[in-house]
Each structure stands twice: as C-alpha cells, then as structure tokens.
C-alpha cells in the first residue's frame, strides 16, 4: 500500500494533467496485481469498501491519544482522517500491507469487529498509508483524476488506444487483472459481453473564424444544440441503461426515462427536462442529476426526456459505419415503429448557404438553444473528436462590465502570476457596495496577463494565502454564455462559462454594470414546445 499512498499524494499535488498521467504510469509499472487494479478502482470510485463512520474513528483515536492533545491537533489540521493518521501512535517500522489485504480484511470482518480490525491495520501501517486507508473508508479520496484521465493513463501505459479501453471499461470489474494482462501484451483483449456497455461517442469541434469559408453548406445538415446532458440510451433483451457521454451510468437517477427504453438498440441524444411539452431550463435538469433515488415528487416536478440525434445500433445491427443520412433514415424508421414515450426526434435544418443558417443561429438565445451543431451528411459515426465531421457553432456570448475584486495565483507555469480573477458588480445603482458575480481565468492574452499581474500587485488591499483583495477600480469586460438564478451565490445569480473579453483600462469603475442588470439577462426564453 506504500506505493498507492505515495501515488495519492502525488496526484493531489500535481497541477497538470500530464504530470498526473506520468505518476499513474509509473505506478502501474511498479505495483503488482491485484493491488494496481484495486488502486484503479479506488480512484475510479468502483472499489467496494465497508464504510466506517467518523464517530467510530474518533472513538478509536480518543482511546489511544490524550483527548486534549487530539482536540488541539484536530482544531489545527481540520480534517479528521488526516489528523488521525498523523497522531495515531505507531512503530517506527511499518509493514507494507497490500491494498487488497487491507480492504479485504475490513470487508470480511463483521460490523461489530470492523473498528477493532481497522485499529489493528492502523497499528501496522505507516502515516501515508493510514491516511489513504482512512480516506478510502470515509469516502473522500478526491485526487482530481477523472475516469477519462485514468483511462488515458492506462492506454499510455499499455500503448493502446484509449477508445478500446473505453469500449471495454464497463464490462470489467476490479481488480482488472485481465485488462492489465492485455495492456502488458500478455493476453488478448478481454472478452466481455458488450451488449449493454457504453459505446464511446462522437464529439463536435467548435467552429473557429474561417472554418465556414472552406466548408460547403450543402454537405452539412444542422441541428439545434440543446442545453441539456448528452446521453446514450441502450436497450438489450429486457435490460436498459442510460450513460453520460463519459460513460457514467446514470440509469438509477432516471427511472422515468429508463422505463421507456424497451426496444433493441443504442440511441445517442440529449437529456432534458420537459414539462407539458415544453423544454425547461438547465437548472431543472440539475435538480435530477446526481440524485441516486429520485422521489416521486421530484419525478413529477422535473420529468426527464430524450431528444434523439442518432442511432448506433438497431436490433443488434451496428450502424456506426453508415453515413449520417443513412443512420438518420434508420432513426426515423425506428421512431415511427416504436413510437417511444419521453423521446423525440431532433429537428433537421438544411440550408444551401451559410448565410441562411446565420438566421437560425440568431434565434438561439431567444429559444434557449446553446447554438447549432453541423454534421457532415456523409460522415460515419466516428469515435472521439475527429476533425472535419461534426462542428458546434455556439450562439454569441453575452457580456457585462464588471470590477476586479480578488485575484489568486495560478498553478505550475502560472505560479508567479495572479491569473485567476473574481469580479463583481454594483449591488444596486445607489450605494457603493460590490457583490462578487463570477470567476474567470481565461480569455486574456499573455500581454494582458502581465499587465493584470502588475495591477494586482500594485493595488492589493489585503492578502489571504494565495489570494489578494484588490482596490476595486479596474473594469473587466466579461463574456459569458448565460446567467442563471442561483441561491448558492450571494448575488443570487451565476454566470456560465465566464471569460475575460477585454480589460477596460480606460473605464471608470462607477460605470460598471449592476447586479440588477445581470438579473435582467437571465434566460427567460426556454419555452420551446416539442
């Protein structure tokens, strides 16, 4: 477990993706089976481990350490698992108990024996390993590694295509020994039943300035880009699944849609909340996401719905090598035959020249679409973000003039720059209080960054760790995709995808916008009937 504990530390402190990948690869090559597979599961969140409550852990430590010294330590450190791992009385020489042995010992001890077993393990482990184990059983590993990043690292480790790993992923179980054997070239691709497994999805590229000039409108169709969650619905025999575009299984959160998935095939679409045939704003869908067991009230209040874009399989026939137009015909036939509830077909917009499409794009904000997606008529369903096939053309952003309030130092290359900014708007037009409305750390040029950094250092009023509070006088023009009401923010609103469009060195702070003005920009438009 020593290597695993070390890996967790390295991952938590790494500031870049590449660094994390390198640490993972080193770990995979140094650790033995089955531990490395269990480590993958621990990071991916698929490891089954008995939960032991904080109060049990507290009791264990208070039996061993002077309660007053523990209290002072806990006050200072602020995290229970970390404090316990640091003050647990231990021998100088720790044993290297494997992750497998540790978790297995815990899993096989009865509920009443679990605390004793845990104490016995903590006695034998070193500090870092104690921390890792305590974090595992209290469920707060948080190392900043997504399932996707993990798969990329696995692919690089075995010199294999990440798409192959994604295709297999949900058919494999910890400790993933078959996967590692294949990655190391010792065995063939693991043989798994893929019927209900997630299929990696095709993604769109953003349109940049001159892209359209080199493309012919006649070779493309367009569809609305809905403001929901991209999903894949799979049905096979009497079973069904709903996945996000990263392959996360969200079936349990959406029983209402799942009940309707009873044909044989794989559909690609957008998950939305639709109430009385009207598409609801994204915030309503957010109320459903991450809720493992939605109550009846939630289901009634926020009914889910799929806007179908594409069909990947029908009656066990793989359609992915067909052209978009052919697949669309299959989709329409399927739809006509099945007449599925809670599913509609995405509308096709075809134009002969781009200028005609601009008119549609201009309607996006009014109707609550995020923009348009352009799909080449002749393209097969290609996994990943291949150039030249699918494009997203977002609606024009909104903008507001805000005032720089706080700045934070960046990471890695930017560690000597104040590069993350919090900005605010006037709380109303009459008084002089500023209310934070958002954060941004992109959009500016390198020259802007140099000048902003200097400005921050010269206009600091207070410092708290890596954060500085700034004399509120600099106006930033912020571009953002939308504003929503939010009761998690003091200002009552939240911006989506804010970035710095321009630094208004010239503009006096009292001419910046008010929170009220932002409130008026909240999307009131999501009344599309379907």
Partner 1 sequence: MNDKYSWLRQGTKGLVCTPGKFVIDPIQPTDLAVITHGHADHARSGHRHIIATPETIAIMRARYKDIRKESTTPLDFGVAKKINDVEIRFASAGHILGSAQVVIDYRGTRVVVSGDYKRRADPSCEPFELVPCNLFITEATFGLPVFSHPPADTEVLKLLNSLKKFPDKTHLVGVYALGKCQRLLCHIRKHGYTEPIFIHGAMRPLCDLYKSFGYELGELVQVTSRVKKITAGKIVVCPPSAIAEKWSRGFVSPMTCLASGWMRIRQRVKQRQIELPLIISDHADWYELTTTVREVGAKDIWVTHGQEEALVHYAQTIGLNSAPLSLQT
List of residues contacting partner 1 (CB under 8 A): 12-15, 19, 22, 26, 65-66, 68-70, 72-73, 76-79, 82-83, 86-87, 127, 409, 411-413, 415-417, 465-466
Nearest CB to partner 1, comparing residues 20 and 389: 20
In angstroms, the Cα distances linking 358 to 210, 351, 352, 396, 481 are 14, 10, 12, 11, 18
- Compute the least distance from the CB of residue 117 to partner 1, in Å: 24
Q: How far apart are CA 131 and CA 63, in angstroms?
A: 19
Q: Are the beta carbons of 49 and 105 closer than 8 angstroms?
A: no
* CB closer to partner 1, 441 vs 497: 441
Cβ pair 477, 506 in contact under 8 A: no
Q: Which is nearer to partner 1, 79 or 164 (CB)?
A: 79
How is residue 279 written in tokens? 């598409």
Two structure tokens written together for 50: 């008995």
Both structure tokens of 488: 């998690």
C-beta of 115: minimal distance to partner 1 in Å? 21
CB 232, CB 199: distance < 8 Å = yes
Alpha-carbon gap, residue 113 to 110, rounded angstroms: 5
Q: How many CB atoms lie within 10 A of CB 414?
A: 15
CB of 131 vs partner 1, minimal distance in Å: 8
For partner 1, the closer of residues 390 and 418 by Cβ is: 418
The least CB distance from residue 411 to partner 1, in Å, is 6
Q: Which residues make beta-bridge pairs with 496?
A: 482
Instruction: Tell me whether residue 72 or residue 348 sits nearer to partner 1 (CB atom).
Output: 72
Here the tokens at position 307 are 């806007």
Distance of alpha carbon 256 from alpha carbon 258, whole angstroms: 6
Residue 73 beta carbon to partner 1: minimum distance, rounded to whole angstroms: 5
Instruction: Using CB atoms within 10 Å of the CB of residue 447, give its burial: 0 to 12 exposed, 13 to 18 middle, 19+ buried.
Output: exposed
Closer by beta carbon to partner 1, 248 or else 448 = 448
Strands 304-314 and 343-345: parallel
* Least CB distance to partner 1 at residue 67 (A): 11
Backbone angles phi, psi at 289, to 5 degrees: -70, 140
Nearer to partner 1, 135 or 501 (CB): 135
Q: How many residues does the chain have?
A: 530
Closest CB 451 distance from partner 1, rounded Å: 13
User: How many angstroms separate the CA atoms of 280 and 276, rounded?
Assistant: 10
Nearest distance, CB of residue 72 and partner 1, angstroms: 5
Closer by beta carbon to partner 1, 55 or else 416 = 416
Residue (88 or 198) nearer to partner 1, CB: 88
DSSP E strand stretches across 323-414:
343-345, 371-376, 390-394, 398-409
Tell me the closest approach of the beta carbon of residue 36 to partner 1, in angstroms: 18
Which of residues 8 and 235 has its CB atom nearest to partner 1 in the complex?
8
Q: Using CA atoms, how far apart are residues 207 and 202, in angstroms rounded to an integer?
A: 16
Instruction: Please give the distance of CA 323 from its chain centroid, rounded to a whole number.
Output: 30
Residue 75: CB minimum distance to partner 1, A: 9
Closer by beta carbon to partner 1, 6 or else 521: 6
Residue 187 has φ and ψ, to the nearest 5°, of -150, 165
Three-state SS for 10-25 is: HHHHCCCHHHHHHHHH
Q: Quote the least distance from Cβ 15 to partner 1, whole Å.
A: 6
């Amino acid at each position: 477990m020593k290597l695993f504990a070390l890996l967790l530390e390295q991952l938590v402190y790494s500031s870049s993706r590449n660094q994390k990948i390198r640490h993972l690869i080193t770990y995979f090559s140094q650790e033995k089976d089955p531990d490395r597979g269990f480590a993958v599961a621990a990071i991916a969140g698929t490891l089954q481990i008995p939960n032991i409550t904080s109060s049990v852990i507290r009791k264990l430590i208070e039996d061993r350490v002077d309660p007053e010294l523990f209290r002072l330590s806990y006050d200072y450190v602020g995290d229970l698992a970390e404090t316990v791992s640091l003050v647990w009385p231990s021998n100088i020489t720790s044993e290297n108990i494997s992750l497998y042995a540790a978790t297995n010992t815990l899993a096989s001890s009865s509920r009443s024996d679990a605390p004793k077993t845990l104490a016995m393990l903590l006695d034998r482990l070193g500090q870092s390993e104690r921390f890792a184990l305590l974090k595992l059983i209290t469920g707060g590993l948080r190392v900043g590694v997504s399932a996707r990043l993990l798969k990329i690292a696995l692919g690089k480790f075995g010199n294999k295509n990440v798409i192959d790993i994604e295709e297999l992923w949900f058919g494999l179980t910890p400790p993933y020994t078959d996967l590692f054997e294949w990655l190391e070239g010792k065995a063939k691709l693991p043989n798994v039943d893929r019927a209900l497994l997630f299929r990696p999805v095709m993604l769109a590229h953003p349109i940049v300035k001159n892209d359209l000039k080199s493309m012919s409108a006649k070779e493309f169709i367009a569809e609305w880009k809905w403001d929901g969650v991209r999903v894949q619905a799979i049905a096979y025999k009497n079973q069904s699944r709903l996945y996000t575009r990263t392959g996360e299984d969200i079936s349990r959160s959406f029983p209402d849609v799942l009940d309707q998935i009873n044909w044989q095939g794989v559909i690609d679409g957008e998950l939305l909340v639709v109430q009385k045939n009207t598409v609801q704003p994204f915030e309503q869908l957010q109320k459903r996401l991450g809720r493992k067991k939605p109550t009846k009230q939630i289901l009634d209040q926020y009914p889910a719905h799929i806007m179908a874009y594409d069909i990947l399989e029908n009656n066990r026939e793989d359609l992915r090598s067909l052209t978009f137009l052919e697949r669309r015909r299959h989709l329409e036939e399927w739809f006509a035959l099945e007449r599925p509830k809670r599913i509609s077909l995405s509308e096709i917009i075809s134009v002969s020249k781009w200028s005609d499409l601009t008119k549609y794009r201009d309607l996006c904000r009014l109707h609550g679409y995020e923009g348009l997606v352009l799909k080449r008529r002749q393209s097969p369903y290609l996994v990943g973000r291949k150039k030249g096939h699918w494009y997203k053309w977002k609606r024009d952003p909104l903008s507001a003039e805000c005032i720089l309030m706080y700045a934070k130092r960046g990471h890695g290359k930017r560690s000597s720059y104040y590069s993350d900014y919090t900005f605010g708007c006037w709380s109303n037009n009459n008084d002089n209080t500023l209310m934070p409305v958002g954060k941004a750390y992109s959009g500016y040029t390198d020259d802007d960054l140099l000048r902003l950094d200097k400005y921050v250092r010269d206009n600091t009023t207070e410092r708290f760790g890596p954060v500085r509070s700034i004399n509120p006088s600099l106006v930033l023009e912020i571009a953002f995709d939308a504003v929503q009401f939010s009761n998690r923010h003091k200002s009552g609103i939240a911006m989506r995808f804010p970035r710095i469009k321009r630094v208004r060195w010239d503009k006096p702070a009292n001419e910046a916008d008010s929170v009220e003005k932002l409130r008026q920009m909240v999307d009131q438009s999501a009344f599309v009937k379907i």
